[in-house]
Amino acid sequence: MASQTAFHVGTCAQNGLFPRTGDQALTQYSSVIQSYCDTGDPFCCSGANTAAHLGYTTEYDSAALNFVLGKIGG
């Protein structure tokens, strides 16, 4: 479910350990949130690469900052 949402950012194209369903999918907030998940992440993408999970702050820090600044007009 996470990889199919409008607010998904990253390279994963499958569900992870605990996929969200129904109201848990947060689709009503898709214009104001982003969810980061890359291929190999053992939690959000059913992978086996813990480094993928631990690397989001390095990989997406600028993108996340720009997203937030764009939402708050900064």
Which CA distances in Å does 64 have to 17, 48, 54, 57?
Answer: 24, 24, 15, 9
pTM of the model: 0.81
| Average pLDDT of span 1-11 | 75
70 domain residue, yes or no: no
The beta strand positions in the chain, using DSSP E, are 8-9, 35-36
29 domain residue, yes or no: yes
What is the tally of structural domains in the chain? 1
39 domain residue, yes or no: yes
69 domain residue, yes or no: no
62 domain residue, yes or no: no
Cβ atoms of 37 and 31 closer than 8 Å: no
34 domain residue, yes or no: yes
Which domain does 20 fall in, by range?
2-56
With cut-offs at 50, 70 and 90, classify the pLDDT of residue 68: very high
32 domain residue, yes or no: yes
